[in-house]
Amino acid sequence: MRLYGIMAEFDSPQGLVEAARRTHDAGYRKIDAYSPFPVEDLAEAIGFHSNRVALVTLIGAIAGGLSGYLLQYWIATISYPINVGGRPYHSWPSFIVVTFEMTILFGGIAAVFGMLALNGLPMPYHPVFNVPRFAMASKDRFFLVVFATDPKYDAAGTRQFLESLGPRSISEVPS
Amino acid sequence: MQIFHRSTNTLSRATIFGAVFVIAGLGWALMELQRSPYITYAGVVKPQPVPFSHQHHVTGLGIDCRYCHTSVEQSSFAGIPPTKTCMNCHSQIWTNAQMLEPLRASYRSGESLEWTRVNQLPDFVYFNHSIHIAKGVGCNTCHGPIDQMPLMYQYASLQMEWCLNCHRAPEKYLRPRDGVFNMRYQQPTSAAPVLVAGESYYDQASLGKALMAKYKVRNVADITSCDTCHR
Amino acid sequence: MAEQTDQAANRQAPVISPGYTFGTVTDKISSIVLTRPTSNGWFVGFGISFLLLMLLLYAAGYLFVRGIGIWGVNIPIGWGFAIVNFVWWIGIGHAGTLISAILLLLRQSWRNSINRFAEAMTLFAVACAGTFPLLHLGRPWLFYWLFPYPNTMTYWPQFRSPLVWDVFAVSTYFTISLLFWFIGLIPDLGTLRDRSENRWARITYGILAMGWRGSARHWHRYESAYLLLAGLATPLVLSVHTVVSFDFSIGIVPGWHTTIFPPYFVAGAIYSGFAMVLMLAIPIRKVYGLEDFITDRHLQNSAKVMLATGWIVAYGYAIEAFMGWYSGNSYDSFTLWNRLHGPYAPWYWSLLSCNILFPQVLWIRKFRTQPGLLFLVSAIILTGMWLERFIIVVVSLQRDFLTSSWGMYYPTRWDWATFMGTIGMFLTAMFLFVRILPMISIFEMRTLLPEAEVKAE
Amino acid sequence: MQEAPANPKREDVCPSKQRELGEVRLQIERAQGPEFWRSLEELAGSPEFQQMLHREFPKGAADWVDEVSRRGFLKLMGASLALAGMSGCTKLPLEPIVPYVRQPEGVVPGRPMFFATAMPLSGYASPLLVESHLGRPTKIEGNDLHPASLGGTDVFAQASILGMYDPDRSQTITKLGDVNSWSSFVQEIKGPLAVQKGLGGAGIRILTQTISSPTLADQLRALLKMYPQAKWHVYEPVNRDNVVEGAKLAFGRPVATQYRLENADVIVSLDADFLYAGFPGNVRYIRDFAKRRNPDGVMSRLYVAECTPSSTGAKSDHRLPLRAVEIEGLARALLVAVTANSPEAGTTAEYAKFVQVVAADLAPHHGSSLIIPGDHQPPSVHALAHAINVALGNVGKTVVYTDPVSANPVNQTESLRELVSDMRGGKVDLLVIMGGNPVYDAPADLGFADALKNSNVGLRIHHGLYQNETAELCHWHVNDTHYLEMWGDARAYDGTVSIIQPLIAPLYAGKSAYELVSALSGVSDATGYDVLRAYWKGQHSGGDFEAWWRKALHDGWIEGSAYAPRTLSAKLGSLPAAPTSEARTLEINFRCDPSIYDGRFSNNGWLQELPKPLTKLTWDNAVLVGPKMAGREGLKTEDVVTLELAGRQITGPVWIQAGHPDYSVTVHLGYGRRKAGRAGTGAGFDASPLRTTGAMWFATGGKLTKTGRTYKLASTQGYQTMDTPNGASRPNVRRATLEEYRHEPKFAQEGTPPPELTLYPGYDYQRQEYAWGMAIDMTACVGCNNCIVACQSENNIAIVGKEQVVRGRHMHWLRVDAYYQGDRDNPKAYFQPVPCMQCENAPCELVCPVGATLHSTEGLNDMVYNRCVGTRYCSNNCPYKVRRFNFLLFQDWETPQYKMMRNPDVTVRSRGVMEKCTYCIQRISEHRVDAERETGGQIADGRLQTACQQSCPADAIVFGNINDPNSRVSKWKAKDRNYGLLAELNTRPRTTHLAEIRNPNPELET
C-alpha cells in the first residue's frame, strides 16, 4: 500500500524542534511538525516563513472602511438627500463611527476566514489521523512527519534517519 | 484515529460556500416577493360586481375620462360615477343585459354598488389627482393603457420607489395639459413634435423642461419632502 | 507598603500551581466536559435560570401584544429599564474581549486561564444587551429598518443617529467576539475530539474542530491571525462603549450632553466586566476545583483592575459634578442638584457608595485574597453600575429644560420581569457553556508550563 | 370658503344623508348588538354592567397596563395586525369603494363643505361653522361672520363634535327601559292630554332648560294657550338667577347686561370669570379684551377681586384674593369710594388700599371703565356693580343693557321649588322634562329626585341626549337630537338669532325639542324644519322670503335680530343690608367645571381629558384649598377630606390651589355622575349634595375633616412654577410690566444666539416660496384651552384615560403650560401655549435612526408615522417635550361613530409610533394645491390657518409664511417682544412667543 509519509513521535517540544531542525538541515523539505500548542521556532525549523494572513486582513479592513463610508455618503447625498435638523447632507463627522466599525468587522472576518482558508481548513479527514498514536498530538506528544512526496524520501533511508533523531516511536502514515 | 471519511473535506467546504449562496438567494427572493404583483396587485384584475370595460367605453365609444370621474380636476379624489351616471345611457341601451342587472338593482333599491378599489394606496399616503393633472401628468402615465383594458387593473406597483421615479425627474413624464386626458398621447419625437403655446418640441427633455417652468412645478427637493405625501 | 506585600503575594501565587504536566492539565480540564458526571447542583442551577428565561419570553410576548405601555416609560422619560439594562449588559460584556485581546497584547500570560469563559461571558452578556434595543421599540417587528438594505421605499437608515451607530457597533462587537472566541476554541475542540469516548461527541467536536491537527504551519498562521484579531478587537472594545455613551452625549439633555462620557463609560464597563468575571470565576473554581488554574493571583489582579477602573469612574463623577458647577450652565447645575437632592437622591447616594466607597476595601490584601468577600464586593459593584446607568438615563430625563414637562418614572412589574429574564438567559447560556465546552483554554494553559520552554542554542 | 346649500331643504343640507344613515345604523347594529339592552341593565343598575362600563375605553385604558381580558387580547392582536399594515412591504387587503346612487348637487367627493349652524348652551348660542366630509361633520369652527364669534369658539363648542358621535348617547325611545317607538309614544300621551284638555292643563308641567329659541318659545307659549292652566318651569344648575335678581334690584326688571370691553381701559371684575367658556359672550369678550391689551398701543388694566382662582384672575394686573362672601363688602366700599369721590372714604378692611387705588384709577376713566360682577355673586353685588357703572358713566359706553336673552327669564331656583311643591302637592299629572338632569343637579334641599319618585306624577317624560339619572326615574325617555342633527334657532349673548341647521340626519332617529313640543300640541309628524321655517316665515315681513331665508342659513344668523340697547335708570338704595360674614368659618364655593360645565359634558372624553386652566387636572374634580389653609390643616394634595355643610356631607381629594383665599374652599359641579356613560360615570365626586336653594354658589359655616385616605389625581403638569427647587429660575415665560417694556423693549430677546454662531452652514430657506412660522402672543392668550381641543379634533388625537394621564402619557399635541410666580397665597400666573416649535436645527431629527422625522424644504419638522419604529429618542432629545407617543393602542379602531368623526385628511396613528404637531400640514397641502391649481399663485396670507389659530378667540396665534415680509406672522416676529423659547440651545424654533406684558398700577406694587 502507498504511504503518505513516516511519522516520528517525541515527548517534548524541545526534542521536536531539534529533530525538525536536523531533518530540514538534512535536506528534507516536504516535512511537517505537529504539537498540542504553538511552539516557538518550530515553524522556521521546518523552513516555513511566509505568512499572508496579515495582508489578507489589511485588504479586508480597507474594503470594510471604504464600503462603510461610501455607503453613508451615497445615502446621505445621492440616494435621498434630505435636510436633517439643519445638518449638511455630507455631515462627515457623523459618518466616522460606522466607517470605523465596518473597518474592524471586515478586517476581523478577513483575518479569521483568511487564516482558515490558508490553512486549508476545514479538513476533517487527514491521513495523519490514520495513525492511532497521533491522537496524542492534541495532548502531550509531538510529531514530525516526512511526506512520501519529498524528493529525498525513500522508505528505508528516511526511517533510518528519523530513528537517528531518537524519537519515542516511529510509525508509517498510510494514505 | 480517523473519524471522518475523505469525502467530508469536500463536503464541509461545499456546505460553507453553499450556506453563503442560500442566504443570498433567500434575500433576493424576498426582494422579488416585495415587488411581485402578489403584493402590489400590479396587473391583477380584481373581482367587480359588474364587468365594466374601459376599453369599450373609452376606445369604443370615445367617452372622456371626466364624464365619469367628475371630480378629478378639482379634488384629491377622482370620483367613482354614481349609479345615475351609468343609467344615463343604460336606461336606454342594453336595458335588459343580464350583466347590468346589479346596476339596475342598485338604481331601483337606492343601494350603492360596491366596487372593489383598483388603485389603492395605504392610509398614510395622501395623493391628490387635481394637482397632478394641473401640472400635466397624463392619466395613462400612472394608470396605463386604460383604453386597452377590457377589465380594469392597477398598472403600476404604486410603491414609494415608483412614485419617486417621477417626483425625482418630473420632466421625463410631463405633457401639455391638453394632452392629459388623451389616451393616445405620444411623447415628442423629431418626427412627431408636440406643440405647446405655438412652440414645437422635438424631444421630451426640452418639452419637460419647458413644462416644468410653464406649470411652476416645484423643484425635486420640494416634492420629495416627506410631507408631500405623508401627514 | 501594601504594594510591596502584594508583590510578595504575587511571587508566592503563580498563575498555575506547580506539578502539572501537559497531560494532567489536558485531562483535568477536558474531563469536566467529557467524563465528569453532571451534578444535581448543575441541574438545579440550570433549572432556575431556565425558568427565568421563560419569564423573559412571557414578558416579551406580552409586550408584543400590548405594546411598550406595559412598562413604566412615559413622556418625558422615554427610556427606562430597557436602556438601563442594555448599557449595563453591554458594559459587562467588555471584560471578555478586554482580557483576551488587550491583556494578550500586553503579554499578561495570567489571562490564559480566565479568557475563555470571560469571552463566553462577553458573548452572552452582549446577547442579553442586544435584546433590549429590540424590545424597547414601539414597533419591534420593524427593527430591520435600522439596517441599510435595499427596499421599495428607496429609503435608508439615518446615519447621523447614534442609535444606528449602536447597531453597527454592537453587531460588530458581537461578531468579532464570537470569531475570537471560536478560533480560540478550535485547538481545544481538537483535543476534545481526540479525548472523547462517545462517538457522537467525537463527531460533533470533530466537525467543530474542522480537522485541526496542530501542524506547525497552521499554528504559525493561527497565531498571527489571533494576534491581528486582538489588535482589531482592542480599539473595538474601547469603541463600543464609547458609541453607547454617544447615545447620551450626542443628545442635548442636561446630564447627557457631556464629553467625559466616552472614557468614563469605558472605564465603567471594564469595572463591571471584571466584577462579573469574578462573580463567575469564584464559584466556578470552587465547584470544579480549579483553584490550581484560577489562582489567588487572578483574583488579586482582577481586584486591582477593578480598583483602578473604579477610580477612573469616580473621576468621571467628579468631573460631571465639577462641570455642573463650573460651566455655570443653569440646566447642568440643576441636574447636579437634582441628583444630590432630587426625588431620586437615595439612588444617587447608594450609587456613589456602591461604586466608590465599598470597593476601597480592595486596598487591603486580605480582601483581595478572600474569595467570599471579593464575590460580595463584585456584587456591590455590579449593583452600583446598574444604578449609575439608571441615574444617567432616568434622572437626567426626569427634569430637563421646561419645568412644565417634568415627570417621574415608576418601573412596572414587567420592567422587572424583563430584567430578571435576561439574567436568566445569561445564566442558562453560562450553565450550558461550562457543561459542553472547556471553560479554560487548554492549549494556552499548556504554554504556561515550564516544559513548554524551548531553549534555542 | 362657505358653500351655501344649493336650496336649503334638508336633503341638500346634509348630502348623502340617506346612505350615511343606513350605513351607520347598520354599523351600529353590528358593533353594538349586545349593548343594545344597556338601558335595561342600567335600570337594574347591575354591578356587572358598571364593571362593563369601566372596562370600556377610555376608562378602560386604566386596566390595560396590568390585567388583560381575553377580549382585550384579541382586540390587540387584531390591532397589531392592523399595525403591520403600516410597514413597507405588507399586502394591503382588498377595499371596497362605494359611490353614490345619485350624487347630490354641489358635492365634490374628497372636498369638504362648510355649513353655518350654532350650538346652544344654557340658552346662549355659539355661532359655528362646521366642516363636513361627504355628509359627516368632522370639525367645528367659529362663525367668522357672526358678531358673537368672529371666528373664535369655546371649548364646549369645539368638543361638541365628539358629543354628537358619542356611542353612549341614548339611541332609542324607551318606556320603563324597554325599547319603544315614537308612534306608540304619541299614542300613549294622547290619553293624558285629552284628560288635561278638560282640566285646562292644570296637571301639565313642562320643565325646560334655559331657552332662548324664539321658535321653541313660541311653540311653548302656543302650547300654554292650549292648556292655560299648564305651567312652564325653567331650571339649570348653572343659572343666572343672581343676574336677573340683581337687575330687578337695580332696574326693577330683568335685563341682560352686555359689556363692550373694546372700550374699557380700567376693568374691575368682582369675582367674574368673564374670560372663560360658560360666561355668556366670553368668545367675543376675549377678542375685545385682547384687542385692548396691546402693549404697543392702548393697554387696558384689569383688577380682579375673586375667590376661586380663575383664568381671568390669572390674566389680571392685580388680583385680590377674597372669600366670596367678602366681595359684597368690597363692592360697597368701592361704590362709596367712587361716588363719594373720596377714595379714603369707605372701608377699614384689609383691602382698603386696594379699594382706594382702584377707585383712584377708575375716577379719571369716566365712561371708559367697567365693573363686571360674577354670576355667582348675590343680587346685591350685581346691583352695586350697576350702580358703580352708572356712577362712572359707563352705561352706553362700556356697559349696554338689553332684553334678557332667555325667553322665560324667571328665577330658576324658585321655579324649580314651585314645581317640586306642586309635585308633592299632587298637582302634577303629566311632567315633561325637556333636557337637563334635575335628579342629579337640583338643589339638595328640594329633594327633587324623591319628589319625582314618590309623589305620584301620573306620566313622567324625559327628553334628552342621554339615559341619565333623571331618565331613570321617568316612565318615558325620548332620545333627543344633538344640535348637529337638528333644525332650530337660538339667541347669542347679544340677542342675535342664530340658525341651527343639521349637518347630518339623526344618528339614532332622535326627536328634537321642537318636534316633541309639536307632538305635545297634537302635531306629531311636524319636522323641526317645518316648524322653524313656518315660524320665521311668520316673522319675516316683506321682501323675498326665500332669498332672506337662504342668506340666514348661509350666514348662520338673522341680520338685525340683535337686541337694541335699552336706556334705563338705576333706582338704588333698596339694597338689602350687607351680610355679616363671620370671618373664621369655612366657606364652600360651588363652581361649574371649566371642562365639563354642569356635568352635561361629562361623557365627552376630550373635555374630561382637557387639563383645567390652572390646576391642569383631568378626569376629576377636587376640593381646592389655599396654601395657608392647607398649612394650618396639615393637608396635602390628594388627601381625601370630608366637607360638611348643614348636616350634609361629601368627600373628595384635596388640591392645593395657589392663590385660593384662606377659610374658603372650592368644589366643582358636574362630577360623580352615576349614569353618564363610559367616560363620565364614576369620574370625580358629586358636589351637589351640599348645594341648597339658599346657597347656590357659596355658603359659610362648612366643616372640613381629613379622612386619612388619599386619592390619585391626574394632572398633566406636575410642576407649576418656573423656579427650580435649587433656587434658580427659568425664563420660560418672559414677562415685564408695561413700564419695564417701554424702558427696555428688547428685554425678551436676551440670550438668543446670533444666527452665524454655528459650525455648520445653515440650510437656506430664503430661496423657498414658503417658510412656515408661527407666533404666539402670551399677552393676548387667556388660557381658554380652545386651541387644545381644536387641535385634538382637527388631528384625530386620541384620549388615553385617567390612568395613562397619571403615567404622563396624554396625547395633546398642543399644551398650555400654566406657571405661578411669587407669593403662593396670591401668585402671578402665566399661560404659555406650547405646540411643536418646528426647530430649524431640530434635535429630534438628528437622533432618529430611521429618518422618520425630517425637515421639509419649507422648514417643517415632518413626522412620518409610517416610518416610525418607536425608539422615543426624538422625544428624549426634544427640549420642549412636545412629542407624544402611542405607548398603547390609544385610538379606538372599532367604534363606527368615531370612524365617521375622524378627519379623513390626517393619518390615524396607531400603537408604537411617535406623533406631534405638524402645523396642520393637511391644511397647508390643501391650500397649496388649491392655490397652485386655481391661480398658480401663492397662498394668500391669512387664508391658511392652523386649527389652533382658527379657534383662538383672543387671536393670540398667528401662522403664515415668514419668507413674505408683509405676512402677519413676519410682522409679529419682527416685534421687540418676540423671542424663541429655549433659543439659547440654538434650536432656531419657527414657533416663537411674544413676551407677556402686564400693566400693573404702580400704586399697588410692593
Kindly write down the DSSP assignment for every residue of D146-189, as one continuous string.
STTTTT---HHHHHHHHHHH-TTS--SEEETTEEE-HHHHHHHH
**Given A43, A97, A135, which is nearest C165 (Cβ)?**
A97
| Residue D580: pLDDT over 70 | no
Tens of pLDDT, residues A68-93: 999 999 999 999 999 999 889 999 99
**Given D763, D851, D856, which is nearest A86 (Cβ)?**
D763
CATH number for the domain that contains residue A24? 3.30.70
Distance from CA of C445 to the nearest CA of B (A): 25
What is this structure's pTM? 0.91
Task: Render D342-404 in DSSP notation, one character per residue.
Answer: -TTSS--STTHHHHHHHHHHHGGGTTSEEEEE-TTS-HHHHHHHHHHHHHTT-BTTTEEEE--
Q: How confident is the model at residue D341 (pLDDT cuts 50, 70, 90)?
A: low
Identify the DSSP state of C391: I
Alpha carbon distance D671, D686 (integer Å): 5
Q: Which of D657, D663, D662, D643 lies closest to D705 in space, CA to CA? A: D643
The CB density around residue B127, as the number of other CB atoms within 10 Å, is: 16
B150: which 3 cell numbers?
Answer: 377590457
| Residue C450: pLDDT over 90 | no
| Residue D786: pLDDT over 50 | yes
Contact status, residue D549 vs residue D540, Cβ threshold 8 Å: yes
Q: Which residues are CB-contacts of D906 (< 8 A; sequence separation ≥ 6)? A: B231, D794, D795, D796, D922
HSE of D331 in the Cβ direction (CA atoms, 13 Å)?
32
Cβ of A82 within 8 Å of Cβ of D855? The answer is: yes
Q: Which of D27, D6, D9 lies closest to D899 in space, CA to CA? A: D27
Q: How confident is the model at residue D893 (pLDDT cuts 50, 70, 90)?
A: confident
The answer to ipTM > 0.95 is no
Q: Is A11 within the bounds of a domain?
A: yes
What own/partner pairs with CB < 8 Å and gap ≥ 24 does D751-755 have?
D751/D983, D751/D984, D752/D979, D752/D980, D752/D983, D752/D984, D753/D983, D753/D984, D753/D986, D755/D988
Strands D204-208 and D430-434, sheet pairing? parallel
Tell me, yes or no, whether A106 and A62 share the same domain. yes
Q: Which residues are CB-contacts of C110 (< 8 A; sequence separation ≥ 6)? A: C15, C103, C297, C298, C301
Name the residue with higher pLDDT: D911 or C107: D911
Identify the DSSP state of D772: E
State the sign of the Cα–Cα–Cα–Cα dihedral D246, D251, D254, D259.
negative
Q: Which residues of D fall within a CB distance of 8 Å from A82? A: 851, 854-855
Q: Decide if C334 touches A, using CB distance below 8 A.
A: no
**Given D720, D850, D884, which is nearest C157 (Cβ)?**
D850
Tell me, yes or no, whether A77 and A100 share the same domain. yes
Q: Decide if A122 touches B, using CB distance below 8 A.
A: yes
Q: How confident is the model at residue D577 (pLDDT cuts 50, 70, 90)?
A: low
For residue D624, the surrounding DSSP H or E stretch is strand D623-625
Tell me, yes or no, whether A26 and A66 share the same domain. no
pLDDT, position D718: 81
pLDDT, position D102: 83
- Choosing from A94, A118, A142, the residue where a domain stops is A118
| Residue D996: pLDDT over 90 | yes
Cβ of C193 within 8 Å of Cβ of B3? The answer is: yes
Q: Is A123 within the bounds of a domain?
A: no
Where are chain C's structural domains? 17-449
B89: which 3 cell numbers?
Answer: 345611457
For D673-688, b/e burial (b = at least 16 CB within 10 A) is bbbbbbbbbbbbbbbb
Tens of pLDDT, residues D446-462: 999 999 998 888 899 99
Q: Decide if B106 touches D, using CB distance below 8 A.
A: yes
Q: How confident is the model at residue D541 (pLDDT cuts 50, 70, 90)?
A: confident
Contact status, residue C22 vs residue A139, Cβ threshold 8 Å: yes
**How much is the average pLDDT of C219-242?**
93
**Which A residues, 148 through 167, put their C-beta within 8 Å of a C-beta on chain C?**
none
Q: How confident is the model at residue D560 (pLDDT cuts 50, 70, 90)?
A: confident
Alpha carbon distance A145, A169 (integer Å): 12
Identify the DSSP state of D123: T
pLDDT, position D582: 63
Phi, psi of B65 (to 5 degrees): -50, -40
pLDDT, position D578: 66
Tell me, yes or no, whether A109 and A146 share the same domain. no
Q: Which of D409, D567, D407, D411 lies closest to D495 in space, CA to CA? A: D407
| Residue D49: pLDDT over 50 | no
Tens of pLDDT, residues D760-776: 777 888 888 999 999 99
Alpha carbon distance C308, C328 (integer Å): 31
| Residue D76: pLDDT over 80 | no
> Neighbours of A (≥3 Cβ pairs closer than 8 A)?
B, C, D
Counting as low any pLDDT under 70, the low residues of chain B are none
Tell me, yes or no, whether A44 and A60 share the same domain. no
Cβ of C216 within 8 Å of Cβ of A100? The answer is: no
Q: How confident is the model at residue D10 (pLDDT cuts 50, 70, 90)?
A: very low
pLDDT, position C346: 95
What own/partner pairs with CB < 8 Å and gap ≥ 24 does B95-103 have?
B99/B50, B99/B51, B100/B50, B102/B49, B102/B50, B103/B50
| Residue D35: pLDDT over 50 | no
Q: Which residues of B fall within a CB distance of 8 Å from D936? A: 215-216
Task: Render D47-97 in DSSP notation, one character per residue.
Answer: HHHHHHHHHSTTTTHHHHTS---HHHHHHHHHHHHHHHTTSTTPPPPP-EE
Give start and end residues of each alpha helix (H) in D455-560: 469-472, 513-520, 528-539, 545-555
pLDDT, position D74: 41
Alpha carbon distance A100, A163 (integer Å): 55
Q: Percent of chain C at pLDDT above 70? A: 96
pLDDT, position D34: 32
| Residue D1006: pLDDT over 90 | no
Tell me, yes or no, whether A24 and A37 share the same domain. yes
Give start and end residues of each alpha helix (H) in chain B: 7-35, 37-40, 54, 65-68, 83-90, 101-109, 129-134, 139-143, 160-167, 204-214, 220-223
- Does the bond joining D754 to the residue before it have cis omega, within 30 degrees of 0? no
At the fourth CATH level, the homologous superfamily of domain C17-449 is Formate dehydrogenase/DMSO reductase domain (1.20.1630.10)
Q: Which residues of C fall within a CB distance of 8 Å from B125? A: none
pLDDT, position D575: 66
Determine which of C154, C158, C193 to mutate to test the interface with B (most B C-beta atoms within 10 Å): C154
Q: Decide if C142 touches B, using CB distance below 8 A.
A: no
Q: Which amino acid is at D795?
A: N
Q: Which of D69, D247, D143 lies closest to D950 in space, CA to CA? A: D143
Total residues found in chain D within this entry: 1006
What residue numbers bound the domain in which A77 lies?
A: 53-118
Tell me, yes or no, whether A150 and A163 share the same domain. yes
Contact status, residue D595 vs residue D612, Cβ threshold 8 Å: yes
Tens of pLDDT, residues D209-263: 999 999 999 999 999 999 999 999 999 999 999 999 999 988 888 899 999 999 9
D844: which 3 cell numbers?
Answer: 429630534
* Strand order across the beta sheet in which D266-270 lies: D318-321, D301-306, D266-270, D369-373
pLDDT, position D19: 40
> Virtual CA dihedral for D800, D637, D277, D166, nearest 10 degrees?
30
**Given A34, A109, A115, which is nearest C222 (Cβ)?**
A115
Alpha carbon distance D40, D45 (integer Å): 8
Phi, psi of D569 (to 5 degrees): -110, 125
- Mean of the per-residue pLDDT values of chain D: 86
| Residue D45: pLDDT over 50 | no
Tell me, yes or no, whether A19 and A30 share the same domain. yes
Contact status, residue D501 vs residue D8, Cβ threshold 8 Å: yes
Q: Is D869 helix (H, G, I), strand (E, B) or coil?
A: coil
Cβ of D849 within 8 Å of Cβ of C158? The answer is: yes
Q: Is C260 helix (H, G, I), strand (E, B) or coil?
A: coil
Tell me, yes or no, whether A101 and A67 share the same domain. yes
For B88-123, b/e burial (b = at least 16 CB within 10 A) is eebeeeeeeeeebebbbebbeeeebbebebbbbebb
Tens of pLDDT, residues D909-938: 999 999 999 999 999 999 999 999 887 788
**Given B34, B70, B76, which is nearest D89 (Cβ)?**
B34
Cβ of C211 within 8 Å of Cβ of B161? The answer is: no
Provide the domain count of chain A. 2
pLDDT, position D75: 44
Q: Percent of chain D at pLDDT above 90? A: 69
pLDDT, position C331: 92
Angle separating helix axes D545-555 and D528-539, nearest 10 degrees? 120
Tell me, yes or no, whether A113 and A57 share the same domain. yes
Tens of pLDDT, residues B14-58: 998 899 999 999 999 988 888 899 888 999 999 999 999 999 999
- The residues facing D648 across adjacent strands are D645
Q: How confident is the model at residue D82 (pLDDT cuts 50, 70, 90)?
A: very low
The size of the B-D interface in CB pairs under 8 A is: 147
Q: How confident is the model at residue C309 (pLDDT cuts 50, 70, 90)?
A: very high
Cβ of B13 within 8 Å of Cβ of A82? The answer is: no
| Residue C68: pLDDT over 90 | yes
- The region of weakest confidence among C74-88, C293-307, D602-616 is C293-307
Q: Is A34 helix (H, G, I), strand (E, B) or coil?
A: strand
> Neighbours of C (≥3 Cβ pairs closer than 8 A)?
A, B, D
Alpha-carbon separation of residue D500 from D178, D490, D491 (angstroms)? 31, 7, 10
- Choosing from A118, A140, A156, the residue where a domain stops is A118
Q: Decide if A135 touches B, using CB distance below 8 A.
A: yes
Determine which of B1, B2, B15, B20 to mutate to test the interface with A (most A C-beta atoms within 10 Å): B2
State the sign of the Cα–Cα–Cα–Cα dihedral C69, C73, C79, C85.
negative
Distance from CA of B112 to the nearest CA of D (A): 5
Tell me, yes or no, whether A80 and A103 share the same domain. yes
The CB density around residue D237, as the number of other CB atoms within 10 Å, is: 27
